[in-house]
Structures are given as structure tokens and as C-alpha cells.
Amino acid sequence: MLMGSIPQCIGNLIAMVQGSKPSVYLAPGEPKYIEWYEQDVSQVIKGREDHYTRNLKFVANLDLSNNNLSGPIPKEITLLTALRGLNLSHNHLSGEIPTTIGDMKLLESLDFSHDQLSSSIPNTMSSLTFLAHLNLSYNNLSGPVPQGNQFFTLNIDPSIYDGNKFLCGAPLSNHCDADDRDESGDDDDGDGKQNRSEKLWFYFVVALGFATGFWVFIGVFLLKKGWRFAYFKFIEEAVHRINVTLRSET
């Protein structure tokens, strides 16, 4: 059983094969190197246990479940972008789910259940378009459940969020209040703040342009006596034409 924290250098791993026994494969005319693994491996992927008993060149899954690991999930683990499955369940891991989890584009199975993870679920997880199995149950997660993209499919099963009483939003029965939704927007890599800032700048520029044009018109109107007389004459003639039109219709 593994104990302690997950080291940050885990991001340097090309592959991890649990329970492998390496053997040497000799290529004619080439130096000796390790190419194949004689494996007797059991891994829990997509909620089921798979048992490998044949030689595989590469198994792109990382299963550290059912150990005594503690501390935060290092963000360096998200550098393993070739992983198809990541299982850290049934440990004592704490802290936040790294926001860079969205960089693991090839993930098909992700299991962080039965840990002590806290804070919100990163919205970046919605970019994991290959993710078919997700289990975040029995942690201390809070805030809104992400919506859209891959979560349209994943949120069909609300049990993947069991044991997180402070989570809210579909597919859960807990409704999010306005503060929760605002907090969720702040977690989305600052996109919400950037959009609001762009809107404020747009309204400011429009208001500034209107004010500038108005005062330019007023300034010219006050300084140019001929323009001022022409303007009032135009208004007077327009009013006169309207009155004549109304009288003729009656």
C-alpha cells in the first residue's frame, strides 16, 4: 500500500504500468532495450475492473486507487496528456481538483471518488470530450455542477456526485443561489470577468462618443451666429409646415 503524497515529478512519467514485470526484447543488430512488459494487471477503468494477462506495449492508464495517499493532487499529473484513464479513488487526497485537468484531452475515465477533495468542480473539465465515465462521489466538493459540452451526457447519472452535500445545480436536487453562480463564473479562467470588462468598456466608449458629439454641436452652435439663426429658422419652418398639414387634413 502506498503512503504519503503524490510527488510533483509524476508529471515526468511517460507511462505507469501497475504490477508489471519487465523483460528484455532483443532486436537484431540493435542494443538491448526494454520493449515489452509481461503483465498481470488489474485496473478499475470506467467503473469496472479489467484484468490484463497478456503482453502489451503500452497501457495508458494510471491507477493509484485503494492506497493511503494524502495531500493535494499535484497539477503536474495533468501533464500526462496521453492517459486514457486516471483513478485516484479511495485515498485521503485533499485540496482542489487542478484546473489544468482540462488539458488531459484523451481521458475516457476519471475517478476521484472517496477522497477528501474540496472547493468547486473546475469548468475546464467540460472540455474533456472523450470522457465517458466520471465519479466524484464522497468528497467535500461545493458549488455548481458544470454544465454544457461533455456534462450533458455525464449529468444523466446524479450518483457520480453523491456524498457532496454542498454541490448544487442539475442534475442534483439542490438549487444554486446567485452567489454560487457568480462564484462559478469567477472560476472559469476569468472568462466571465473579461466579458463583463469588455461590455463596460463598450458602454463607456459609446457614452463618451455621444457626449463628445453633443458638446461639439453645442459649441459650434453657440459660436457660429449664422448657424444658430439658420437652425431656429429651420425649426420654425418645420413647425409651420406641420401646422398647415394638420389644418388641411381637418
Q: What pLDDT is attached to residue 55?
A: 44
CA-CA distances (angstroms) from residue 236 to 183, 221, 228, 239?
58, 17, 12, 5
Backbone φ, ψ for residue 89 (5° rounding): -75, 160
Specify the amino acid at residue 121. Answer: I
Q: What pLDDT is attached to residue 138?
A: 96
What whole-number distance in Å separates Cα of residue 60 and Cα of residue 230?
82
Q: What pLDDT is attached to residue 234?
A: 74
Q: What pLDDT is attached to residue 99?
A: 93
Q: What pLDDT is attached to residue 20?
A: 42
Q: What pLDDT is attached to residue 26?
A: 39
Full-model pTM: 0.58
Q: Which of 113, 173, 121 is nearest to 144 (CA)?
A: 121
Q: What is the mean pLDDT of each run of 10 residues along the chain (250 residues)?
A: 86 51 43 44 52 52 91 91 91 94 91 95 91 94 90 86 92 78 50 62 75 70 66 75 74
Q: What pLDDT is attached to residue 98?
A: 94
Q: What pLDDT is attached to residue 21?
A: 44
